[in-house]
Structure 1
Amino acid sequence: MDHVKVERLGPFPRVSKPVFITSGILIVGFIIFGVLFTETAGTLFGFLQGFITDKFGWLFILLMNLALALCIYLAMSRYGDIRLGLQTEAPQYSLFSWIGMLFSAGVGIGLIYWGTAEPLYHFMAPPLGEPNSVETAKQAINFTFLHWGLHAWALYAFVALSLAYFHYRRGLPLSIRSTLYPLLGKKIFGRWGHAVDILAVFGTMFGVVTSLGLGVLQINSGLEKLFGTPNSLTVQIALIAFITVLAVISVLMGLDKGIKRLSDINIGLTAILLGFMVILGPTLFIFDSFLENVGNYLSVFVPLGLWGEAYEGQENWQSSWTIFYWAWWVSWAPFVGIFIARISRGRTIREFVLGVMLIPITILFFWFTTFGGVAIHMELLAAIDPALASPGLVEAVQADFGSAIFKLIEYYPLTKPITFIIVIMIVLWFVTSSDSASFVIDMLTAGGDTNPPKIQRLFWASTEGVIAAVLLAAGGLSALQAAAIVAGLPFALVVFVMMYALLRGLSRDQLILYRAQQYYITAESADHNTANEFVDEDLLEGPPKIAKGD
C-alpha cells in the first residue's frame, strides 16, 4: 500500500516535506503578522471569529449533536465488538494511566481555569432568567456541563475513533488524512491529504500556544498570592521558558516515562485537592448537588444541546459561549483525537467510546460541582444572610477568570499550601499539554509516524514556547485564539466527511469479523490465533477476506 513520503530535511531525519515546510511557513507568517500588526490582526481575526460564530452557529450545533448520536450508536451497535488492533489484543495502557493521559491532552487545564469561574459567571449573567436566583444557579451548572460534557467528549471520541480505526485496523498512518481513505483512496497521500494535515497542525499549534500563554497568567496570579511575585511580563516569559524546559525533559523521557508519569502524578494531585475541598467544604451540599446537577443536566441536555437562541431575538450570548466552545473543541479535535488514538490500542470500540465519553465527564462534573457549585452556594447563602457574603469572589470572576479559584481557596484553611498545589497542577498540566501537542504535530509532519524522532518533537516543543512568549509580549494572544476558532470551521466540514467514511469502513470490517467468527465456530480445532494465517493483502480495495489478526 502507498504511504506518505518522508525524508530528511536538514537536522530532521523523517519529515513529510509538504506538510512540515508549509506548516512552518504559515505559522511563521502568522506570528510576524501578529507581532508587527497586532491591532490589525486582532481586528481581522476578531471579525472572522464573530462572523463564523454568528452565521455558522447552527452548523456547529448540528455537528456536535451528530457526533454524540453517532458515538452512542457505535457503542450500542454490533460494531462495538470490533477491537482497535488484533481481536485478541489487550489494551496497551492500564485504565488509570489511560484516564490520566486523556486529561493530559490539554483538557485538564480547563479544570483549574474554568472550574470556579464559569458556573459563577453564568450565575451572575445568565442567558435566560434573572441573575442570582436558585433557578439561575441550576441553569449555570447545566450550561457548564453542556460545554464540558457529552457533546464535547463525543466529538473527541469520534475523531479519535476514526483515527484509531484506520490506523490499527487498516494499517494507515496515524494522521487525519487516513480517515478520508474510503472516499479519496490513494489521493490521501497527495495534496488533499497534505492540506488536511496542515490544517490539523495549524489548529493544534495555535490552540496549545494560546492556552500556554493564558495559563502563565494564571500561574503568575497564584505565585503573586503565594510569594508576592510581581505580576509582570518578565515573570510570565520566565514561566513560559520554565514550562518549555520541563516539556523538553518530558519529551526526552518518552511517552511512557514522560507524559504517562506526569499524568499519573496530576491525577493523584487532583484526587487530593478534590478530597480536601469535599472534606473541609460543605460536604453534604457537594454530594447532594452533584447528583441533582447530573439529573438536571440529563433532563435538559438534548433541548439545551439543540438550543439556538432563535426565539430570543439576539445571539450574542450563545456566540460568545456555546458556539465559541463548539468551535474551540473542533479546532482542538485533531490534537486531542490523534493523542487519544495513540494511547488506545487494544480497546474495543464499545469500551473506547464509553470510556472516552463517560469517565472524563464524571470527573469534570464532580470538579465543577465542588468548585463552581460551592462558589454559587456561597453567593446564595450571602443573599439570605449578608454576614455570610464572600467579598471579592464575584469581583475576581469579573476581573480575571483565572484568579477565581485562588480567591475561592481563601475561604478554606491551609490556603497557601493548597494554592501551591494548584500552581503545581497548572504547571504539570501545561507540561503534558505541550509535550502531547509536540508529539501530535510531529506525527502529522512525519507522515503519521507513531514514534517520530525526538529531535523533531524537541523542535516543536521549543517552538510552542517561543511563539507563546513572543505573542504574549506583543499582545497578540487574542488574535491567535481567534485564528484557532476560525480554523475550526473548515475542520468541522472535514469531520462531517469523516462520519460517512468511518461508517463505510466499519460496515466492511463487520463483514470480515463475522466471517472470522463463523470460521472459529465451524473449524473443529480453531482458536483465535488460527486466523493469523490469513493475510489480507489489500483490505481496503479487494474483496472481503479475513484480516490478519482477526
Structure 2
Amino acid sequence: MGEVVKDEYQTDYVAGQDNITPFGLDLHAPVFPITAILVIAFVIGTLMFPGQAKELLDGAKWDIIATFDWFFLISANIFVVVCLALIFMPVGKIRLGGMDAKPEFSTMSWFAMLFAAGMGIGLMFWAVAEPVAYYTGWYETPFNVEANTAQAANLAMGATMYHWGLHPWAIYAVVALSLAFFAFNKNMPLTIRSAFFPLLKDKVWGWPGHVIDILAVVATIFGLATSLGFGAQQAASGLNYLFDTGGGVNVQMAIIVGVTAVALVSVLRGLDGGVKILSNINMSMAGILLFFIIFAGPTMTILETLWVTSSSYIANALPLSNPFGREDEAWFQGWTVFYWAWWISWSPFVGMFIARVSKGRTVREFVTAVLIIPTVITVVWMSAFGGTALEQIQDGIGALAENGLTEVSLAMFQMFSNLPLTEIISFVGIVLVLVFFVTSSDSGSLVIDSITAGGKTDAPTAQRVFWVVAEGAIAAALIFGGGEDALGAIQATAISAGLPFTAILLIMTWGLLKGLTHERKLLVARGEL
C-alpha cells in the first residue's frame, strides 16, 4: 500500500455561484461590472480628451520602462526556466483532466488554434519590419552594433527571434497549464483565480480573487487592443498600397468596425463553428504564403538564414536576457520590455484559450507543444520574411533599400513588391491579417466572458457580444487618441497593463508547481502513476 496522501485542493465552490442574472445574463457580481465600467470609462475618456490621454499613456509607459525594465526581463527568464524544467520533471506524466482523459481536438486542429490565437497578427506585422529596423538602425541596434553590416544582419535575425521564441510561449504555457490543471484536474472554475488556490485556499473566492480576475480582464483587453491596433494599421496600409484607399485613422477605424462585425458572427457560431474553422483556414493560408515566399523568393538565402537565425538566437539569448550593465539600454527598453509586457498582457487570453482546447494532453506533451513547436515554426517564418527583406536591402532592390523603414505597417507589402504575383500575395497578406484579427477578437471575448462569468464556459452569448464590441472600441479609441503616434499609444497600454500582471504570473507559477507536485504524490499513492 502506498502512502495515503490527502487531497488538499478540494473546494465546495461552484463556478458561477456568486453570479447575478439581470436581463437573462449570467454575470459574476463584482468582476463584470467593475471591469465593464473601467473599459467604458477608458473609451469615453480617450475619445473626449485624446491629447491628454496620449500624454498620460506616454508618461506611464516611460516611467514603467525606466523603473521596471529589469523586472520584466528577469520574470520572463523565470518562466522559460520553469517550462523547460517541466518537460523533464516527473510531473510531466500528469494528464490534464485525469489519467483517463482523451483530447477533444485532433493534434493539427489543436495546434492551429493555439498558434492562431498566440501571435498571428504580430508575426504578420513585425516579421519584416523588425529585422529591417535592427539591420538599418531605424531606432537603435542591439548591443549598439554598427548598422548595415554583416554583424548587424546576423544579430537582427537573432534578436527578432529572441522576441518571438521561447520567452513569449513560456509565458503563455505557464498561464495555460495553471488554468487547465486546476480546472480539469481539480474541478475549479476556469478562471485566473483558481490557479491561486494552493496559496490562498478558499479566500481565493473572495475579494483577493476578485482583484486577480479584474486585473486579468484589464490586462487581456488592453493586450488584445494592442494587437487589433497593429492589425488595423497593417491592413489599412496594405489596402492603400494596393487600391489607393488611404491608410489614415478613418480607414483604420472602419477596418476595426468591419472586422468586429465579422467577429460577432464567429461568436454566434461558437467554438467549433467559429474559432476552430477560422483557425484552420488561417493556418492553411499562412502555410501557403510561407511556402510561396520560400520558393518564389531567394530560396538559398532563406535556407542560409534559417541557420543564421537559429545560431544567432542561441548565441545571443543569454546576453539579450541580461537587464544589467547593458550599453544598448535604449534598444532593449524600447523593444524587449515592450514585447515582454505585451506577451504578459496577452497571457490570460491566450493561456485560457489554450487551456480550454488542451484537455486530455499530458503536462509534458502540453509544454513541449506550446513551447517548442511554435518556436521552430517561427524560426522558419522569420527567416523567410526577414531574410528576404534583408537580401533585398543588401542588393539595393525596392523601397526598403531606397528609403529605409519609413512606415512599419507597410514593410511587409514593400517586400512583397519585389516578388512575383505581388498583387495576389499582398491581397492574401491583407486577408490573413484580417482573419487573424477575427480569431483574436473572437477567442478573446470567449476568454474574458468566462472570467467575468465566474469561470462558467456556457454563459449567454450576449455577454461575449459585449466584449467583442468592447475590444474593437478600445482599439479604435487608441488609434483615434494616438493620432499620428497611434503605435506609441497602443504600446503604452500594453506596458501599463502588463506590469501588475507580471507579479501575478510569478505567484501563479509558484502555485502551479505546488499543485503539480501535490497531484503527483496523490497519483503515486493511488497507484495511478
TM-score surpassing 0.5? yes
- Out of 193, 212, 218, the position equivalent to 1:196 is 212
Distance 2:473 2:374 in 1: 31
The range that moved more, 123-132 or 173-182, is 123-132
> Residue in 2 aligned with 1:403?
410
Aligned to 1:172, the other structure's residue is in SS state coil
The answer to whether the 8 A contact 1:209-1:467 is kept is yes
Distance 2:403 2:433 in 1: 19
Matched to 2:13, the amino acid is D
Q: CA deviation at 1:12?
A: 4.9
Q: CA deviation at 1:266?
A: 0.8
Q: Deviations over 1:221-274 (max 9, x none)?
A: 111222222334443332222101110111111101110110101111111111
Distance 1:396 1:405, change over 3 A: farther
Structure 2 spans left out of the alignment, 5+ residues: 1-11
Aligned to 1:11, the other structure's residue is in SS state helix
Distance 2:404 2:129 in 1: 6
> Residue in 2 aligned with 1:533?
none
Distance 1:11 1:437 in 2: 23
Q: CA deviation at 1:397?
A: 5.8
Aligned to 1:56, the other structure's residue is in SS state helix
Matched to 1:95, the amino acid is T
- Out of 418, 443, 463, the position equivalent to 2:450 is 443
Distance 1:61 1:81 in 2: 30
- Out of 314, 318, 323, the position equivalent to 1:308 is 323
Q: CA deviation at 1:480?
A: 5.0
Structure having the higher Rg: 1
1:293 maps to 2:303: no
- Out of 287, 304, 312, the position equivalent to 1:271 is 287
Aligned to 2:467, the other structure's residue is in SS state helix
Q: CA deviation at 1:88?
A: 1.6
> Residue in 2 aligned with 1:122?
134
Aligned to 2:246, the other structure's residue is in SS state coil
1:225 maps to 2:237: no
- Out of 417, 440, 461, the position equivalent to 1:433 is 440
Distance 1:426 1:515, change over 3 A: same
> Residue in 2 aligned with 1:420?
427
Distance 2:503 2:175 in 1: 13
- Out of 83, 105, 108, the position equivalent to 2:117 is 105
- Out of 491, 496, 512, the position equivalent to 1:502 is 512
- Out of 45, 50, 53, the position equivalent to 2:57 is 45
Matched to 1:14, the amino acid is D
Q: CA deviation at 1:396?
A: 6.6
Distance 1:178 1:438 in 2: 19
The answer to whether the 8 A contact 1:393-1:404 is kept is yes
Distance 1:486 1:367 in 2: 29
Q: How does 1:323-342 map to 2 (within 5 A)?
A: 323-342=337-356
Aligned to 2:398, the other structure's residue is in SS state coil
- Out of 457, 460, 465, the position equivalent to 1:458 is 465
Distance 1:28 1:194 in 2: 19
Matched to 1:364, the amino acid is T
1:469 maps to 2:469: no
Q: Deviations over 1:110-129 (max 9, x none)?
A: 11100100011111111321
Matched to 2:373, the amino acid is I
- Out of 277, 281, 287, the position equivalent to 1:261 is 277
The answer to whether the 8 A contact 1:34-1:479 is kept is no
Matched to 1:187, the amino acid is K
Distance 2:481 2:146 in 1: 40
Aligned to 1:87, the other structure's residue is in SS state coil
> Residue in 2 aligned with 1:547?
none
The answer to whether the 8 A contact 2:278-2:435 is kept is yes
Q: CA deviation at 1:474?
A: 3.9
Distance 1:44 1:350, change over 3 A: same
Distance 1:468 1:486, change over 3 A: closer
Distance 1:479 1:379 in 2: 30
Distance 1:59 1:233 in 2: 35
Q: CA deviation at 1:424?
A: 0.7
Distance 1:392 1:57, change over 3 A: same
Matched to 1:308, the amino acid is P
User: Considering only aligned residues, what root-mean-square deviation do their CA atoms show, in Å?
Assistant: 1.8
The answer to whether the 8 A contact 1:274-1:370 is kept is yes
Distance 1:56 1:394, change over 3 A: farther
- Out of 155, 158, 162, the position equivalent to 2:178 is 162
Q: Deviations over 1:258-306 (max 9, x none)?
A: 101101011111111111111111111212220332123223322322x
The answer to whether the 8 A contact 2:478-2:489 is kept is no
> Residue in 2 aligned with 1:62?
74
Aligned to 2:25, the other structure's residue is in SS state strand
> Residue in 1 aligned with 2:45?
33
Distance 1:240 1:395, change over 3 A: farther
> Residue in 1 aligned with 2:264?
248
Aligned to 2:420, the other structure's residue is in SS state coil
Distance 1:43 1:421 in 2: 37
Matched to 2:423, the amino acid is K
TM-score by length of structure 2 reads: 0.93
> Residue in 2 aligned with 1:153?
169
Distance 1:172 1:316 in 2: 44
The range that moved more, 140-149 or 483-492, is 483-492
> Residue in 1 aligned with 2:3?
none
Distance 1:396 1:427 in 2: 27
Aligned to 2:457, the other structure's residue is in SS state coil
- Out of 2, 5, 23, the position equivalent to 2:13 is 2
Matched to 2:66, the amino acid is D
> Residue in 2 aligned with 1:319?
333
Distance 1:375 1:237 in 2: 29
Distance 2:205 2:479 in 1: 37
Distance 2:326 2:261 in 1: 51
Aligned to 2:234, the other structure's residue is in SS state helix
Distance 1:396 1:472, change over 3 A: farther
Matched to 1:133, the amino acid is T
Q: Deviations over 1:181-227 (max 9, x none)?
A: 01111111111111111111111112212322332221111112222
Q: Deviations over 1:516-541 (max 9, x none)?
A: 32xx6xxxxxxxxxxxxxxxxxxxxx
Distance 1:341 1:82, change over 3 A: same
The answer to whether the 8 A contact 1:220-1:236 is kept is yes
Distance 1:487 1:236, change over 3 A: closer
> Residue in 2 aligned with 1:545?
none
The answer to whether the 8 A contact 2:275-2:439 is kept is yes
Q: CA deviation at 1:394?
A: 4.8
Matched to 2:359, the amino acid is R
1:372 maps to 2:400: no
> Residue in 1 aligned with 2:157?
141
Q: CA deviation at 1:5?
A: 3.1
Distance 1:371 1:104, change over 3 A: same
Distance 1:217 1:323 in 2: 22
Matched to 1:439, the amino acid is L
> Residue in 1 aligned with 2:360?
346
Q: CA deviation at 1:470?
A: 3.9
Distance 2:337 2:105 in 1: 34
1:283 maps to 2:283: no
Distance 1:492 1:236 in 2: 31
Q: CA deviation at 1:6?
A: 4.2
Aligned to 2:26, the other structure's residue is in SS state strand
